[in-house]
Structures are given as C-alpha cells and as structure tokens.
Structure 1
Amino acid sequence: MPNDIARLASVIDATCRIRGDFVLRSGIRTGEYFDKYRFESDPSLLRRVADHMVPLLPHDTEVLGGLELGGVPIATMVSSLTGLPVIFVRKESKTYGTRRLAEGRDFAGKTVTLVEDIITTGGAVKNAATALRGLDATVHSVVCAIDRSEAGVNTLQEMGVSTMSVLTKADLDEAAS
C-alpha cells in the first residue's frame, strides 16, 4: 500500500472505528462499529478522501451522482475539486414537489459516475444505476471511499458497473493492527 494511502487509512480507521455495544442493520450485535460520518463531517479528512477519488474518475464522466446520504458530501467535494456538475440521488423519488429521484442538473443523455461512501453489497449502487439508466443516463462506474465488500457479494460488475475505491476493508484492518 502506498504511504499516502496507508496514512489516510490509519487516520480514517482511528477516526471512525469505535468500540462499544452496537446492533447492526442485520440485527447482529457487535463490539465494534465503523462510523463513516466521522470522516465525512471532518472537512480536512473529507478533502483528503476526495483528493484520492479524483484520479479514479473515468475520463468520460460528465456528471457526478452522489448517493443519499453518505455519497452526497463526498460528491460535492469532488465536484468542487473537478468542476464537474453533481446530482444528488435519492433512494426513491420524492412523493411531493418535483417528485424527482435525482436533484440538480439535467443528466439525461450524460455519463454519470456514482459516488458512494462505503460499499458493502452494492445494493444501493445497483438500485441507483438501474433507476438512472431508466432516466436515460449512462452509468458504468462507481467511485467509493471504502469498499468493504466480501468476495462474490458485490455483484455490480455483473450489471456493467465497475467499482473503484480509495480504500478497502483490508487497508483499514491493516492500519488498525
């Protein structure tokens, strides 16, 4: 692992890995939790993550798509660094007002690169890619801060979506040891 990525992994791990008694979404109890919002709410740490995301963006990216909720601050920072426009992609369309799935610029006919904080199974990315494709966007890539998916669990490649990540769970585990 390059030194700058190792240092970033170390800082993110120290900032986000917390110990206590937690119940996960699955209902499983654990003594350790990774609170991703701790790095997303720290402007300098968020900037460091975004700086590492910029070179991962595919060259044909026309619009960044920040996924609700964790992908929004990262996509906004990457947009600020690159000058690329950004849309904010909801988990489902609003039932009031504009009733849009994605807020921001028009993205129909454009290549949208999704931006996510953490990918575990890829389910949210899969749903967003499918929905945006249905609205005439081209979606073939997602860039994430941390890919913590286990082998065979992230099936995004099967639907033609490549995953590029700044860090992996292995990077964070190595930093913690």
Structure 2
Amino acid sequence: MQPDLLAELAQDIDRTCRLGGSFTLRSGQTATEYFDKYLFESDPQLLRRVAEAMQPLVPIDTDLLGGLELGGIPLATMLSSLTGIPALFVRKKAKEYGTRRLAEGADIAARRITLVEDIVTTGGAVRDATRALRAAGAIVETAICAIDRSPTPGMALSDIGLTTLPLLTRDDLDRAQGRPDRS
C-alpha cells in the first residue's frame, strides 16, 4: 500500500478508536485514553479498508485464514471474502460440547493456516493458538495483524518460529496523532 494511503488509514483508525475519558484498564489502572479496536472492526467501510490493505500480507500458499476469537474473526471473514481463501474461526479453547472443536470451519490437518489477529502486543493469544493448531496437525508459520503494538514490531512471536506481518505499528498510530516515534 502506498505510504500516504497507509498514513491516511492509520489516521482514520486512530480517530475512530482512540477515546478520551476515564477508563479502567485490564491491569486495574485508570487511564484518560483508551484505544477501542472494536470500533474499526464494527465499521464496515473501515473494516473493508483495513482488510484490503492487509490482503498483500497473506502468503500465497495459505489454505485457510484463521481468525482468532474475537477480534481476528471480522478481519478473517472480510479477508476471506476478498481473497476467496476459506476462513477458520479459532477459539481461545476448544468447545466443551457438540463438535468440541478448537477451530470452526474446514479440517485443519496438514493445512497451511495464516493466523489473522486485530492487535498483537505480547502475542499471547496468537502463541496459544499456534501451539494448539500445530498440535492438531496444522502448519502455522505466519500471523498477520492490523496493528502490532509490541516494542519490536514483527518479532513478538519469533520465539515459536512464527513470522508476524503487521499492517500498522504503534509508531504509525502515534504519527497519525502527530506524536514522535518511540524508537
């Protein structure tokens, strides 16, 4: 994607998702600013723009797009629609009833799955999904994400041999606000 269009997309995501007010964070701390990722994922036009921009990140040999519960599912669904590659919906843990599946959709054994996530910070959910899918016989070598907020973009999952391809980074969003890079 052209740098000016990517910068415009970062500005639109930031404008849509960055909220001011008083927010209690997962850690229990209070913040005056909050980034609500679900606001870009629930906006059909913005979601489509993000997915269109992510499309070139999808490896050519991908058999299935594995959207991680919950934020990766809208992106994987839109990417599936754009690419024609079937989507797979990956749960945080296998269902305890019915099919008892970890991943809903096509059979994953010996299939090349590209994981799709909205935001990667520590990579915990992607790491857990990768291990579980590999244990079930899937080939998982790449994860793509809309935003990589880790301190070293693209490297959060290198410890498990997973290539992470981000569309945007924390620095891209900071630049969208006129803030200097963190590097």
**Structure 1-normalised TM-score?**
0.96
Percent same amino acid at aligned positions? 59
Deviation per residue, 1:86-111 (Å, 9 max, x gap): 11000001111111100011121110
The AA in structure 1 aligned to 2:102 is L
Conserved? CA contact 1:63–1:113, under 8 Å:
yes
Conserved? CA contact 1:120–1:154, under 8 Å:
no
Deviation at residue 27 of structure 1 after TM alignment: 1.6
Alignment of 1:30-49 (within 5 A): 30-49=31-50
Alignment of 1:27-176 (within 5 A): 27-151=28-152, 155-176=156-177
Q: Which has the higher contact order (CA 8 A, sep 6+)?
A: 1
CA distance in 1, matches of 2:124, 2:80: 24
The AA in structure 2 aligned to 1:67 is L
What secondary structure sits across from 1:6 in the alignment?
A: helix
Q: Which runs of 5+ in 2 are unaligned?
A: 179-183
CA distance in 2, matches of 1:155, 1:143: 12
Conserved? CA contact 1:121–1:154, under 8 Å:
no
CA distance in 2, matches of 1:90, 1:121: 18
Are residues 127 and 25 of structure 1, via their aligned partners in 2, closer, same or farther at CA, if it must alter by over 3 Å?
A: same
CA distance in 2, matches of 1:25, 1:119: 16
What secondary structure sits across from 1:11 in the alignment?
A: helix
Are residues 153 and 32 of structure 1, via their aligned partners in 2, closer, same or farther at CA, if it must alter by over 3 Å?
A: farther
RMSD of aligned residue pairs (Cα, Å): 1.4
Conserved? CA contact 1:56–1:143, under 8 Å:
yes
Q: How many residues align?
A: 177
What secondary structure sits across from 2:89 in the alignment?
A: strand
- Misfit runs of 4+, over 2 Å: 151-155
